[in-house]
Amino acid sequence: MTACPQDEPQQLGRVARKRQRRVNEILRVAAQVLSERGYYNTSLEEIADRLDLAKASLYHYFDSKESLLTTCLGTVAEESITRLTTIASGTGSSPERLRGLIIEQLRIITVEYPELARLFLAHLEWPVTVRERISDWHTRHDAIIKGVIEEGVRSGELGDIDISVVRHNLTGALNFVPFWFHPEGRFSDREAFEAVADSVLLMFGVGAPPTPA
Amino acid sequence: MTACPQDEPQQLGRVARKRQRRVNEILRVAAQVLSERGYYNTSLEEIADRLDLAKASLYHYFDSKESLLTTCLGTVAEESITRLTTIASGTGSSPERLRGLIIEQLRIITVEYPELARLFLAHLEWPVTVRERISDWHTRHDAIIKGVIEEGVRSGELGDIDISVVRHNLTGALNFVPFWFHPEGRFSDREAFEAVADSVLLMFGVGAPPTPA
Amino acid sequence: MTACPQDEPQQLGRVARKRQRRVNEILRVAAQVLSERGYYNTSLEEIADRLDLAKASLYHYFDSKESLLTTCLGTVAEESITRLTTIASGTGSSPERLRGLIIEQLRIITVEYPELARLFLAHLEWPVTVRERISDWHTRHDAIIKGVIEEGVRSGELGDIDISVVRHNLTGALNFVPFWFHPEGRFSDREAFEAVADSVLLMFGVGAPPTPA
Amino acid sequence: MTACPQDEPQQLGRVARKRQRRVNEILRVAAQVLSERGYYNTSLEEIADRLDLAKASLYHYFDSKESLLTTCLGTVAEESITRLTTIASGTGSSPERLRGLIIEQLRIITVEYPELARLFLAHLEWPVTVRERISDWHTRHDAIIKGVIEEGVRSGELGDIDISVVRHNLTGALNFVPFWFHPEGRFSDREAFEAVADSVLLMFGVGAPPTPA
DNA sequence: AATGAATGAGCATTCATTCAT
DNA sequence: GATGAATGAATGCTCATTCAT
């Protein structure tokens, strides 16, 4: 009864695949509404309406509002963690990988899942149970970046900084991006992400400090 | 019927002063509850309960839940804007004033109004009307900092940066502090704030970039 | 917030007394509906309708459907237990008191609270929590009658019987009365109750056994 | 589409026999759940689950929840009526046959269909239609016992009693047995049933009245 | 025969807000 | 000014039932 979010290419029967598709469709719409309205302003009625479905039908796929919305977030979180892990454990110097992580992270939260990203911040409005799961994801997520940073500091590729302070600043700055960045700006996405990355990397002693024009 | 927030030492009658005190008390408690639970988890009932007051009585002081909470936020916002304005228009070099602004801002959101600060971020869960007012405050607030930054860049005291990008990073990093900073840490508040300030100032080309240990 | 059922002549303020009256009125109507429809067929809507009240208003007096309906039963149960206790601890021989208990019990469940009495039997349809409370009442209730019976058996005023078997038969017979007894029958209530009492008392060896006409 | 309950060795095709078996299996499980939970706490989902069947599949065998449960009760009712009829129309004195009826009845409701027996009492929670059918069964059922009693009173083998009162007491006492009797008690089933029978028969003037020890 | 999907109707509960006292 | 009472509107959730496959 618990829904499996991702579109893993499992070897499932025709029915199971169809169900999977339906679940994903629901998740997509739910994510949309969720990101427009926030948790408590999102009613199952609305999600159902947009799907041209009866409210009760949602319960065929999810046990509760909470489980539906948690799954939404979970999908993004896991996807994101997976990708970052790949980059973090890749080749290249610490600063290079850190830069890669930053840019990838920005792509995820601004381009791919612009709606959901900001939800990870709105701690207060979620039910406690969900908040805990969000916390977990944050922890795992942070651990990845933290790993690369520590490595870089140890190897001398990054400056000798107070890791925890700087890392928090990094997180704050990155998570804030979806709040101001709009795809159709003067820069291409890539350029914008690189601008942000180069800016925040200065806090790690990476890159040449900007000097007066 | 609309409530006047601040405790300005206006020349008011005894009754009006008493009312003012009551209003402030309500605001204080409301801020507390709001920050603990978020908007939609905060019921007027609970606020009234903590004040040992009847729910209906709140309507003697505020027109609606929305107006109550708007006033809460407004109080902090105005206070904060006033103080930052003072600092921004003070003497000293741009970097010095910028540093001052950062530290003051941190004090406000982590020490003085730790509860409310994070509410300014939780955009989604607020009614549209409130969101708009928050936007206003943000704009005014940002304008202050932006002013000093632009001045510094023009005068060459700050590096030649993409102001909007860096300023957003600054905002993100600062607003995130209340989420991780806990007063009784290894540093004193002051030390912590300075650590954060020095870190983020690097993005402006201020300070010596950290080098390997 | 928890409602006090009985109409105890407490020294309460005017407001409290008014509230008390309202609560009793609600309980009365709830008991009615409850007895007509059973637990799961009773909707708060219907209770409210009959009171010409909004469904939501019921929540001013009771925390939940369960608490409302539990209080209904509780009222009768406590009343009943009190009265039986008085009789059980009165003067007179065991058989006399036992007879008194039986008749009083019949009056309570058929005349005074005809609606609720049968609900005490319908164990299955109640939520577990309620079932437990019903069990409690049963236990206390039975203990009273049991006490008199044991006393009678010990003193030789009642026959030497298997107390538990006979007592259960007594309970079964009495609780069944509301299902068949209708006030306007050929007998007066009193006569009917005495007829039942004399019949069941035979199981205790009390009274002359009926002989062929 | 209406299901035929009993497992009469009808001359049916293979398919029909298979269907019959399926129906009986469903009835068995349904009876179980119904007796554990009561009507309104029993969902078709649960019955289907225990049968490892889809909820919708139940509708191949029964028109509705109501018809399913009616059939359940009907099975026991008919069986019971058949058996009692046999005993009632057998040989032996009225008191002997009455005693036989009582004991058989007890066996049916406590040993053979312990689950369903109590459901016959829970009048209130049933849909009206069902209640009416239950009433019918009760009437037919009671008529059998009533017949033997009247015969006994007329012939002078039973005391000159108010038949309707005593018969109701009998019914009440017997129907209550499933609520307290647990097979593994100090007595064998047979002994317990006889104890109950002898006790209630005293109300008919049958047996020696118990005297003090 | 079997079932997954879908649904309408119903229900308890919450809560901001109004109003008479 | 204070409050108890009352309420409409909204919402999450359940469940018997239908239907296409």
pLDDT digits (tens, 9 = 90+) for A37-95: 889 999 999 999 999 999 999 999 999 999 999 999 999 899 999 999 999 999 999 99
Q: What pLDDT is recorded for position C51?
A: 96
Query: 132-191 in C: which are within 8 Å (CB) of D?
Result: 153, 156-162, 165-166, 168-177, 179-180
Q: What pLDDT is recorded for position C8?
A: 47
Which SS3 state, helix, strand or coil, does residue D126 take? coil
| Dihedral sign (CA A37, A41, A44, A48) | negative
Q: At what angle do helices D163-180 and C189-201 cross, to 10 degrees?
A: 60
Q: Is the CB of C53 under 7 A from strand E?
A: no
Q: Locate A82 and state its tokens.
A: 């997976």
User: Cβ separation of B40 and A41 shorter than 8 Å?
Assistant: yes
What nucleotide is nearest B58 when CA is compared to C1'? F2
Q: What pLDDT is recorded for position D58?
A: 96
* Neighboring chain B residues of A159 at a CB cutoff of 8 Å: 209-212
Phi-psi region of C6 (alpha: psi -120 to 50; beta: other; left: phi over 0): beta
Q: How far is B9 from chain A (nearest CA, A)?
A: 35
Q: What pLDDT is recorded for position A121?
A: 76
Q: What pLDDT is recorded for position D174?
A: 96
Our answer on whether B and A touch (3+ beta-carbon pairs < 8 Å) is yes
Confidence of residue B7 (pLDDT cuts 50, 70, 90): very low
Positions on chain E within 7 A of a protein C-beta: 1-20
What nucleotide is nearest D66 when CA is compared to C1'? F16
Query: 7-66 in D: which are within 8 Å (CB) of C?
Result: 35-41
Q: Is the CB of A15 under 7 A from strand E?
A: yes
Q: Which chain B residue lies closest to A163 (C-alpha atoms)?
A: B199
Does residue C99 register a pLDDT over 60?
A: yes
User: Cβ separation of A175 and B173 shorter than 8 Å?
Assistant: no
Nearest to A76 by CA among A143, A122, A132, A134: A134
Our answer on whether C and D touch (3+ beta-carbon pairs < 8 Å) is yes
Chains with 3 or more CB pairs closer than 8 angstroms to D? C
Our answer on whether A and D touch (3+ beta-carbon pairs < 8 Å) is no
Low-confidence ranges of chain A (pLDDT < 70): 1-12, 122
Reading chain D (213 residues) residue by residue, the pLDDT tens digits are: 444 444 444 566 888 888 889 999 999 999 989 888 888 899 999 999 999 999 999 999 999 999 998 998 898 889 899 999 999 999 999 999 999 999 999 999 998 887 777 777 767 788 888 888 888 999 999 999 999 999 999 999 999 999 999 999 999 999 999 989 988 877 899 999 999 999 999 999 999 999 998
Q: How far is B66 from chain A (nearest CA, A)?
A: 15
Residue type, A2: T
Whether the Cβ atoms of residue B71 and residue B5 lie closer than 8 Å to each other: yes
Q: How far is A57 from chain B (nearest CA, A)?
A: 26
Distance from residue D210's CA to nucleotide E5's C1', rounded to whole Å = 67
Q: What pLDDT is recorded for position D1?
A: 45
Nearest to B62 by CA among B117, B13, B25: B25
Q: Is the CB of A43 under 7 A from strand E?
A: no
pLDDT tens string C165-193: 999 999 999 999 998 998 887 789 999 99
Q: What pLDDT is recorded for position A89?
A: 96
Q: How far is B28 from chain A (nearest CA, A)?
A: 18
Distance from residue C201's CA to nucleotide F9's C1', rounded to whole Å = 59
What does CATH list as the number for D64-204?
A: 1.10.357.10
Between B124 and C45, where is the model more confident? C45
How far apart (Å, rounded) are the C-alpha atoms in residues B168 and B34? 26
User: Cβ separation of C156 and D124 shorter than 8 Å?
Assistant: no
Q: Is the CB of C190 under 7 A from strand F?
A: no
What is the rounded end-to-end Cα distance, in angstroms, of chain C?
62
Nearest protein residue to the C1' atom of E7, measured from CA: A54
Q: At what angle do helices A163-180 and B189-201 cross, to 10 degrees?
A: 60
Q: Is the CB of B44 under 7 A from strand E?
A: yes
Average pLDDT over residues B185-208: 94
Average pLDDT over residues B41-60: 96
Residue type, B7: D
Q: What pLDDT is recorded for position C76?
A: 87
Q: What pLDDT is recorded for position D2?
A: 44
